[in-house]
């Protein structure tokens, strides 16, 4: 087992399953704890980001060691990328078996930061998190009752009859009392677009969203558009 065997984005399976079923990330997170672990590669280092979409911990993954039981391992993580003592390291235990290609598609991880070291099933995402979330929530082409075209691309472009903007789907359930699309902070710095959404059967409803306090938003009761997928 090597550090690079874990490279990628891992998401708690229970949350992903609920997101697929509901197409509503805020609602999914309120019912099932959301947890994502991303192991990246930067030069010779492996940063590891762990988040529940409300708080995050960023460390470095230094090595992977045997965990003392069959198919059990532990990640050695620390705030500094270098030689550290055992007292400076945080150990994250996990279990897993390789597929026929020798890769790990699923792991059981005992995260000490947000999961109280309880082993939970995780799956590796095939694409970046934002692409997967867009795909599972709003990505697609639609028309409203008047025949106007709407589109939300998987890559994060919102194309409405009256505007276009780079969007991201809010994952923090504290952000709004509804599901929320908002201007992408990196692709559209300072953007002020915010659109609430909700699925009702096969229809996608869009709502105007207003600020209720700093960083918190609420959707109007009546949708400004009801969309039919094309």
Number of domains the chain is built from: 2
Asked if residue 192 and residue 89 are part of one domain, the reply reads no
Asked if residue 38 and residue 117 are part of one domain, the reply reads yes
pLDDT digits 0-9 by tens, 68-100? 888 899 999 999 998 888 889 999 999 988 888
Asked if residue 143 and residue 205 are part of one domain, the reply reads yes
Asked if residue 76 and residue 20 are part of one domain, the reply reads yes
| pLDDT above 90 as % of the chain | 86
Asked if residue 96 and residue 38 are part of one domain, the reply reads yes
Asked if residue 164 and residue 88 are part of one domain, the reply reads no
Asked if residue 120 and residue 7 are part of one domain, the reply reads yes
Residues linked to residue 211 through DSSP beta bridges, in sequence order:
217
pLDDT digits 0-9 by tens, 20-73? 999 999 999 999 989 999 999 999 999 999 999 999 999 999 999 998 888 899
Asked if residue 160 and residue 106 are part of one domain, the reply reads no
The confidence score (pLDDT) of residue 217 equals 95
SS3 content of the chain, % helix, strand, coil (to 5): 15, 45, 40
Asked if residue 169 and residue 80 are part of one domain, the reply reads no
The confidence score (pLDDT) of residue 204 equals 98
Burial string for 131-157 (b: 16+ CB within 10 Å, else e) reads: bbbbebbbbbebebeeeeebebbbebb
Residue-range definition of the domain harbouring residue 96 = 3-124
Q: Is residue 130 part of a domain?
A: no
Cβ contacts of 116 within 8 Å, gap of 6 or more: none
Helix H or strand E segment including 30: helix 25-31
Final residue of a structural domain among 74, 95, 124: 124
The yes-or-no verdict on residue 132 having pLDDT over 90 is yes
DSSP-derived 3-state class of residue 18 = helix
Asked if residue 143 and residue 115 are part of one domain, the reply reads no
The yes-or-no verdict on residue 103 having pLDDT over 90 is no
CATH of the domain at 65: 2.40.128.50
CATH of the domain at 200: 2.40.128
pTM here? 0.92
The DSSP output letter for 6 is G
Asked if residue 118 and residue 141 are part of one domain, the reply reads no
Final residue of a structural domain among 124, 153, 187: 124
Asked if residue 198 and residue 170 are part of one domain, the reply reads yes
Q: Is residue 131 part of a domain?
A: no
């Amino acid at each position: 087992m090597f550090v690079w065997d874990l490279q990628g984005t891992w998401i708690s399976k229970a949350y992903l399953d609920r997101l697929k079923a509901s197409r509503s990330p805020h609602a999914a997170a309120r019912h099932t704890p959301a947890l994502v672990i991303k192991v990246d590669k930067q030069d010779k280092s492996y940063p590891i980001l762990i988040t529940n979409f409300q708080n995050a911990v960023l460390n470095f993954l230094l090595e992977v060691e045997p965990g003392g039981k069959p198919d059990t391992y532990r990640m050695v993580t620390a705030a500094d990328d270098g030689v550290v003592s055992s007292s400076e390291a945080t150990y994250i235990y996990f279990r897993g078996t390789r597929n026929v290609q020798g890769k790990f598609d699923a792991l059981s991880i005992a995260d000490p930061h947000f999961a109280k070291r309880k082993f939970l099933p995780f799956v590796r995402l095939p694409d970046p998190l934002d692409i997967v979330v867009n795909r599972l929530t709003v990505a697609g082409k639609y028309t409203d009752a008047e025949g106007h075209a709407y589109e939300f691309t998987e890559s994060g472009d919102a194309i409405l009859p009256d505007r276009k903007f780079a969007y991201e789907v809010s994952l923090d359930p504290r952000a709004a009392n509804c599901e929320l699309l908002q201007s992408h902070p990196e692709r559209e710095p300072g953007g002020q677009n915010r659109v609430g959404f909700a699925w009702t059967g096969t229809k996608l409803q869009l709502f105007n969203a207003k600020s209720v306090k700093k960083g918190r938003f609420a959707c109007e009761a009546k949708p400004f558009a009801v969309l039919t997928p094309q």
